[in-house]
Amino acid sequence: MSLLRIEGLRVYFNARGRIVKANNGVDLDIRENEILGLIGETGCGKSILGRAIMGLLSENVEVGGRIIYKGENLLDLSEDRMRQIRGREIAMMLQNPSTSLNPVLTVGEQIAEVYRCHNDATREEAKRKASNMLELVGVDSKRMCEYPHQFSGGMKQRVMIAIGLALNPRILIADEPTTGLDSSMKNQVLDLMSELIRSRDMSMLLITHDLGVARRMCDRIAVMYAGELVEIAPAEKILSEPKHPYTQGLLDSLPRMGLKPIPGASPSLSSPPRGCKYNPRCRYKGDECSEKHPDMIRLGDSYVRCILYKNDKSKA
């Protein structure tokens, strides 16, 4: 059952007279009690999707489509109403805790602030809850009075998890949560996040370019290329039987697959190629690929945007 549903999302930026289509007709749902991975190369629009859900976009943006949560279109809500939803219903862990955490406030103050702003907790009550959250994520509560610069990268990420989960939201959006962590610390953070999300019956949108992270964490995976989704499928299926040529290319570029890079470069979001956006880099491209933009096609419990499958099933 869908907990949050995105329909035809468009996020266009005006960049010095050029229209940058960061998200262009995105349809996606986040289901109850699932971890959904959103993967793709840097600059494809993944983080913008997360910020659009949270209503954290800049002013020079045109947003269209619908983001439905509990019967409300988040794109139509006032800022006051969105403040009630942020943190309490839908929370977000931003990229890079070193820049996301306030360097002049202790970590305890930053967690406690969540309770004081959203729950009107007293100073002492907020401090007690912040202490409990630190212990929950594996940080000694005696370190509440320390500042972010006194923590390692992995410990900072644990603090970010504590802030994100403080109000027990229904959905957590985690944007590249393991960037900059070594392999050992990465696995610790992923295990902690998975345990907390599953034990609280929450859902998570995990935004990452790391296929190993997606494999370890996700129930389903959505693949984004140049501002649009090109494949959505159960994680096990998409990693063992990828349908879209771009997904195949991503998997082939992994070390265990021989480090075969995808030729060419990602297209500009302000001047994408005609037809299929992936066609200049695709080994299967035909004449139709550069003329007609493909629709999403449903294949059982999966979806793929590629004319190779247009005769397999009806359009989704």
For the chain, 316 residues long, the average pLDDT of each consecutive 10-residue run is 95 91 97 96 94 92 97 96 94 88 95 90 94 95 95 94 95 92 90 94 94 92 97 95 95 82 91 95 93 94 94 58
Residue 98: predicted pLDDT:
86
103 falls within a domain: no
How far is 107 from 244, CA to CA, in rounded Å?
Answer: 43
DSSP per-residue string spanning 30-86 = EETT-EEEEE--TTSSHHHHHHHHHT---SSEEEEEEEEETTEEGGGS-HHHHHHHB
294 falls within a domain: yes
Rounded to the nearest 5 degrees, what angle is found at the Cα of 231, between the Cα atoms of 211 and 95?
Answer: 45
168 falls within a domain: no
193 falls within a domain: no
Residue 160: predicted pLDDT:
94
What is the number of structural domains in the chain? 1
Domain CATH number, residue 267? 3.40.50.300
225 falls within a domain: yes
For residue 31, the tally of other CB atoms under 10 A from its CB is 15
292 falls within a domain: yes
Residue 315: predicted pLDDT:
45
Residue closest to 92 by CA, chosen among 135, 39, 49, 32: 49
252 falls within a domain: yes
Residue 316: predicted pLDDT:
47
Residue 313: predicted pLDDT:
58
Q: What is the pLDDT of residues 149-170, one digit of tens each?
A: 999 999 999 999 999 999 999 9
Rounded to two decimals, the pTM is 0.93
Which strands make up the sheet holding 90-93, listed edge to edge?
Answer: 90-93, 171-175, 203-208, 35-39, 220-225, 228-234, 302-304, 297-299
Domain span at residue 71 reads: 2-76+221-309
138 falls within a domain: no
Chain center to CA of 23: 13
